[in-house]
A = this chain, B = another copy of it.
Amino acid sequence: MPREDGRRPDEIRPLAFQSDFQLHPLGSVLAVCGRTRVICAVSLEEKVPSWMKAQNVSGGWITAEYQMLPSATNTRGEREVTKGKLSGRSAEIQRLIGRSLRAVVDLEKLPGITLHVDCDVIDADGGTRCASITGACAALEIAAKKLVDQGVIPEWPLKARVAAVSVGIVNGEPLLDLCYTEDSAAEVDMNVIMTDQGRFVEIQGTGEEATFSDEDLEKLLALAKSGLKQLFAEQTRITGRANG
């Protein structure tokens, strides 16, 4: 069964990231994965969260927030501020983005500062959390370069690059980089987050109405790894740096 946009099962959507998308943030990337577009911005705050002070933790911090514009989805979504609180989905995604970035950063090398990462989805066609992570890592590199150049931090803080891709099983077939209609129909949905050194940062595999076997797991991980290579290449292109 062919995919709706004609891709092969192991084919990622066209990537077209754009750096310096916004006026004010330290680092800013428009992450474009097929028809999904996310604005990823990194802003500097020259202090650390109060819990770090209270617990006397050294170094700095990275925290992320994620929201969709109401106009980003097929049917307009209600703003979360209107409901007065973050949805469970957004809370879960922004915790994932923060964890993924912190896994590849040496927080000791961000002494006394917090980097705020904002991922705002302009157009959603599946894979927004993965595009957010991949774009945010590129924006973080751009921001880190400025901080080092300006002498705000003394050393390069990234230990590796991180990127994320979704894989899933649709109609029994393992597919790479699901678009929205594929994601909605998927029996199994998995987000794989890895470093450019080939190590896992996070695996989240879920069967909402189905379950999956050891063999399925193996196939999905192989697909993900092939897609991640292309995402790391796009980060290289956009940041102008050979590696994270």
Contacts and interface: CB of A to CB of B under 8 A. Distances in A.
A70 B102 contact: no
Contact of A123 (B22, B94, B103, B197): B22
Given A23-B35, A71-B24, A74-B24, A208 B116 contact: no
Interface in A65-112: 65, 67, 69-74, 76, 79-82, 84-89, 91-92, 94-95, 99, 102-104
Interface residues of A, number: 70
Report the copy number of this chain in the oligomer. 6
A86 B92 CA distance: 12
A49 to B, nearest CB: 13
A15 interface: no
A138 to B, nearest CB: 15
B210 A71 contact: no
Contacts of A103: 207-211
B91 A71 contact: no
A202 interface: yes
Interface in A186-222: 190, 194-195, 197-214, 216-217, 221
Contact of A25 (B76, B99, B201, B203): B76
Given A86-B88, A199-B211, A200-B207, 18 more contacts: A23-B123, A24-B73, A24-B74, A24-B76, A25-B71, A65-B70, A67-B79, A71-B118, A84-B85, A88-B94, A99-B208, A102-B209, A103-B207, A103-B209, A104-B211, A199-B207, A203-B203, A203-B204
